[in-house]
Amino acid sequence: MSKKLSTGLTMGIVLFATTVQSQLIEKTALTLEGAKRIAAAAEAKAKAEGARVVIAVVDESGSLLLLERLDDTQVASVNVGIDKARTAAIYRRPSKVFEDQVKNGRVSALALNGAVALQGGVPILANGNVIGAIGVSGETPAQDEDIAIAGAAVAASFTKP
């Protein structure tokens, strides 16, 4: 093989590798083990308060990873908890933001695809990025959110230095 051909092939491979690399991104993903730790913290807070809630943990796309329904929690809270978590994940903000918008007269927020305007969904952050969300339903809106915040706070231990 000639030196020119060899050099040309090497440069082509390097350019191809550089192009492929620039089309990929590394992301941190929430694992089932992480979801279990988050749900356990939320469950501990709920039980300490005597709360009967559903705890839903979703990944960054809003897909369900884990669901817990504490004893004697209303069945309707299952889907509500999932919807709150999904809203927080896909919109990357607490679901309370949408509830506040509706309270303040922006009823068009109710038309947002996949958003539920109910307090109790909180994003889960790792290294400043949303990696999922937790939704809690069954008690008052503020109590649901407090329990969700307690669960989401566990993700701080997942971050890399």
pTM of the model: 0.85
- Coil, strand, or helix at residue 129? strand
Residue 12 has pLDDT above 80, yes or no: no
**8 A C-beta contact, residue 134 and residue 38:** yes
- C-alpha span between 65 and 62 (Å, rounded): 9
Q: What is the pLDDT of residue 8?
A: 61
Read off the pLDDT of residues 63-88 as tens digits, 9 standing for 90 and up. 999 999 999 999 999 999 999 999 99
Q: What is the pLDDT of residue 21?
A: 63
pLDDT averaged over every residue in the chain: 91
**8 A C-beta contact, residue 59 and residue 34:** no
What is the span of the domain harbouring residue 94?
Answer: 32-158
- Is residue 149 included in any domain, yes or no? yes
- Is residue 138 included in any domain, yes or no? yes
Domain CATH code at residue 89: 3.30.450.150
- Is residue 62 included in any domain, yes or no? yes
User: In this predicted model, which residue has the larger pLDDT, 65 or 25?
Assistant: 65
Which residue is it, tokens 């971050």? Answer: 159
